[in-house]
Copies of this chain bind each other. A is one copy, B any other.
Amino acid sequence: MSQHRPAGTPGRAGGVPALPDLPEATVARLPEYLRALHNLAETGDDTVSSEELATAAGVNSAKLRKDLSQLGSYGTRGVGYDVALLIDQIEFVLGLTQRRAVALVGVGNLGHALAGYAGFASRGFRIAALFDADPAQVGEEINGLVVQHIDDLPRVAAEESIAIGVIATPATAAQSVADQLVAAGVTSILNFAPCVLAVPDGVDVRKVDLAIELQILSFHEHRKSALTGLPAGAVASGPAASGAGTALTAPATGLTALPGGLAATGTTEATPAGPLRPSNAEAIGS
């Protein structure tokens, strides 16, 4: 969201004891803690220390404790956190106490897979309807749901109280679909199409772009091979010429040969490859 905060009204205001504004970074990690907690609960653990839970969630314990303290969370000093209690807390904060209805638009390749993804159901969501613009797809049954025409969206969205939409259409269709979702009352969108969506204020959009993830990895690959391959100068290949004008100086300017400092720009907390390997019954796929 853009929404430059009105600059006043930070923490508490009236007499409400609320701790409102969870940092966005914390919000993004809570689901990971939740998953780890469910694993622990399955294996019968009653309490867990910040250290254990942190490892299971792939973060460090300081971060975890700070995150949980934001919830005003109830750990016990000297003991740890009550697993069941913490699950309830996080589920409450994330709004998962109700099973939320989701509309999925676009039942192509990826849409099909998403429609059949068991992880949504097991983690708080119910795919309530499938839509497509292609009449050839309409009527098909996937995983017990019949694909409906996108024009039926407003009616179905109202009937099913759908507030979250998933876009799995080609990029060309995505903006139009987003407009229709918003018109139908959807206020949160998960977008798998590789394009930027314009939406009104108050509507949240998250984007997942599969190719972008790979491109980020590619950067790190490039970086690593620049390090190991050629310790100093001598770049192997410049950019593949694609018809640009001026000579491509910048690549030659550097960026390829790194001096000394080793990459700190990484992506994951590379845990020490050992003990903990939380199993999880949830399957992606068939």
Asked if A233 CB lies within 8 Å of chain B CBs, one says yes
Most chain B CB within 10 A, of A163, A196, A245, A250, is at: A196
The range of chain A's interface size is: 35 or more
Residue interface bits A161-181, CB-to-B below 8 A is 1, else 0:
001101011111001000000
Asked if A270 CB lies within 8 Å of chain B CBs, one says yes
Is A269 touching B123 in the complex (CB atoms < 8 A)? Answer: no
Chain B hits for A157, CB < 8 A: none
Known: A168-B285, A196-B278. A88 touches B242 (CB 8 A): yes
A141 to chain B, nearest CB (A): 16
Residue of B nearest to A272 (CB): B198
Residue interface bits A92-103, CB-to-B below 8 A is 1, else 0:
111111101010
Within 8 A of B (CB), among A37-67: 56-58
Asked if A281 CB lies within 8 Å of chain B CBs, one says yes
Q: Which of B72, B242, B270 contacts A3 (CB 8 A)?
A: B270
Is A250 touching B74 in the complex (CB atoms < 8 A)? Answer: yes
CA distance A204 to B257 in the complex (A): 19
Known: A89-B239, A111-B285, A238-B92. A267 touches B5 (CB 8 A): no
Is A19 touching B214 in the complex (CB atoms < 8 A)? Answer: no
Asked if A14 CB lies within 8 Å of chain B CBs, one says yes
Is A204 touching B217 in the complex (CB atoms < 8 A)? Answer: yes
